[in-house]
Amino acid sequence: TQLLEQSPQFLSIQEGENLTVYCNSSSVFSSLQWYRQEPGEGPVLLVTVVTGGEVKKLKRLTFQFGDARKDSSLHITAAQPGDTGLYLCAGELVNYGQNFVFGPGTRLSVLP
């Protein structure tokens, strides 16, 4: 059983479109991170959110942490081919000791 679920699993869109990917759990997280991973590379951290309800913006990317700290979303405005990759959410669990879990990822393909 995945402690973190991500949806959609796959997403293929045209350049210029907007999209939102979701990261959900029934568990509470002390913090949550979003990463992007490209083929043959390790994940690269995009953002860390720590406060329930927090919204962070990184250029065309907007990240939101749910009020109850159980879910998060990533919204990309005017997607570009360079946004293509595997988007992973990951979090530090509150009630599982020192453990850090990753979601299965959303594989995004932005077509020119």
Partner 1 sequence: DSGVTQTPKHLITATGQRVTLRCSPRSGDLSVYWYQQSLDQGLQFLIQYYNGEERAKGNILERFSAQQFPDLHSELNLSSLELGDSALYFCASSVGGRLNTEAFFGQGTRLTVV
* Residues at the interface with partner 1 (CB under 8 A): 2, 30-31, 33, 40-45, 48, 50, 88, 90-92, 98-105
CB of 71 to partner 1, least distance (A): 17
Residue number, 49 or 79, with CB nearest to partner 1: 49
Query: What DSSP assignment string belongs to the chain?
Result: --SSEEE-SEEEEETT--EEEEEE-SS-EEEEEEEEE-TTS--EEEEEE-STT-EEEETTEEEEE-TTSSEEEEEESS--GGG-EEEEEEEEESSSSS-EEE---EEEEEE-
Residue number, 87 or 110, with CB nearest to partner 1: 87
CB of 67 to partner 1, least distance (A): 19
